[in-house]
């Protein structure tokens, strides 16, 4: 018996192909997005957003569909990626979930963080086909039903506790508590808030009470649907996981043995399995290796 567990090294794919195994082309998964120069978050490297929703907009989608995101397709089960459909016709889950929620980190090159990495895992093949270009839609108020609800909360805050305050102060008091009980309004970092005001062409020295209805609408739309163009991903060897590889429909998954060559076993990242962050990819390697070892 022979076990192939060569990870993402090209030699493993070549050996598997030569032995008659179906092998999908490898591609990177779990990576950060490189944003276009001059994007709305430019200069905010190091800023962390505790809770936001990031959506990969389909090619050619109308801008108005950014708010609330595109129609949700196959999603997560308990936050875990459905990594595979092991029917004979396919070894990967598709269509892809193009929306994820969680912490986001602005880096010196673009966007990263758990939500972004999960999105890249679900959309890895889609992004490869797009040559890693497109538009992300960032929703900074993920609990809101839409811009109308956010606008109503902003108006209420401007008439109440924020009446005498400048726009430069986000709708959160200095103790970090929800100002005036407006739990819907997010607790955003001041640098991010300032960038939003600049993006919306709002004067930070103006009073909250002076903000006009059109200005409130612009700010509300930016809070729930900030469009950010990207071009590229992290450089080679910075990805965490490789997608593609030995197709699962060519294996007896109870033994991890080839259906074509008796005594040939496969395990680990060489397989066409990739999961989200959280140890699932390590678990894939350990579990498939254990199953193959027991079978051998």
Query: Please, which residues have CB within 8 angstroms of residue 210's CB and are 6 or more apart in sequence?
Result: none
Percentages (nearest 5) of helix, strand, coil residues in the chain: 30, 25, 45
Residue 23 is assigned to a structural domain of this protein: yes
Q: Tell me, yes or no, whether 127 and 220 share the same domain.
A: yes
* pLDDT at residue 27, as a whole number: 86
45 and 166 part of one domain: yes
Half-sphere exposure of 266 (CA within 13 A, CB side): 31
d(CA 33, CA 31): 7
* 60 Cβ contact partners less than 8 Å away, ≥ 6 residues apart: none
- The pLDDT of residue 275 is above 60: yes
Neighbours of 266 (CB within 10 A): 25
Q: Which residue has the higher pLDDT, 94 or 59?
A: 59
Percentage of residues in the chain having pLDDT higher than 70: 80
**158 lies in the same domain as 105:** yes
Predicted pLDDT at 170: 84
> Which H or E element spans position 244?
strand 241-246
pLDDT at 178 over 50: no
pLDDT at 173: 42
Q: Are residues 127 and 261 in the same domain?
A: no
Q: Both 126 and 229 in a single domain?
A: yes
CA distance 290 to 242: 21
Residue 167, pLDDT > 80, answer yes
Do 159 and 266 belong together in one domain?
A: no
Overall number of domains in the chain: 2
pLDDT(47) > 90: yes
Give the list of residues 6+ apart from residue 86 with CB closer than 8 angstroms, or none.
Answer: 248, 249, 253
What are the pLDDT digits (tens) for 103-144? 999 998 899 999 999 898 888 888 888 899 999 999 999 999
Statement to judge: residues 49 and 188 lie in one domain: yes
Distance of CA 203 to the CA centre of its chain: 32
The predicted pLDDT at position 172 comes to: 59
191 and 51 within one domain? yes
Q: Is residue 77 part of a domain?
A: no
Range of the domain at 250: 1-29+240-295
Whether residues 123 and 202 share a domain: the answer is: yes
Q: Is the pLDDT confidence value at 159 over 70?
A: yes
**In a shared domain, residues 159 and 141:** yes
Q: Are residues 210 and 156 in the same domain?
A: yes
């Amino acid at each position: 018996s022979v076990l192939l567990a060569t990870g993402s090294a090209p030699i493993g794919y070549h050996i598997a192909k030569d032995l008659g195994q179906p092998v999908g082309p490898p591609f990177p998964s779990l990576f950060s997005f490189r944003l276009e120069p001059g994007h709305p978050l430019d200069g905010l490297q190091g800023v962390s957003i505790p809770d936001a929703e990031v959506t990969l907009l389909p090619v050619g989608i109308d801008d108005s569909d950014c708010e609330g995101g595109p129609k949700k397709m196959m999603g997560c089960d308990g936050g875990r990626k459905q990594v595979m459909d092991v029917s004979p016709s396919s070894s990967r889950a598709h269509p892809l979930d193009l929306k994820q929620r969680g912490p986001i980190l602005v880096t010196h090159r673009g966007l990263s963080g758990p939500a972004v990495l999960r999105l890249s895992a679900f959309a890895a093949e889609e992004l490869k086909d797009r040559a890693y270009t497109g538009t992300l839609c960032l929703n900074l108020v993920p609990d809101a039903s839409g811009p109308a609800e956010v606008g109503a909360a902003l108006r209420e805050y401007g008439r109440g506790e924020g009446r005498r305050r400048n726009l430069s102060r986000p709708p959160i008091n200095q103790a970090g508590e929800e100002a005036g009980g407006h739990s819907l309004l997010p607790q955003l970092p001041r640098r991010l808030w300032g960038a939003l005001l600049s993006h919306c062409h709002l004067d930070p020295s103006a009073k909250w009470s002076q903000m006009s209805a059109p200005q409130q609408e612009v700010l509300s739309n930016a809070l729930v649907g900030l469009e950010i163009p990207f071009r590229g991903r992290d450089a080679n060897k910075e990805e965490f996981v490789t997608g593609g590889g030995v197709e699962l429909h060519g294996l007896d998954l109870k033994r991890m043995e080839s259906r074509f060559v008796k005594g040939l076993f496969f395990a680990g990242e060489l397989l066409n399995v990739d999961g989200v962050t959280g140890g699932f990819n390590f678990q894939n390697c350990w579990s498939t290796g254990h199953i193959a070892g027991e079978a051998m």
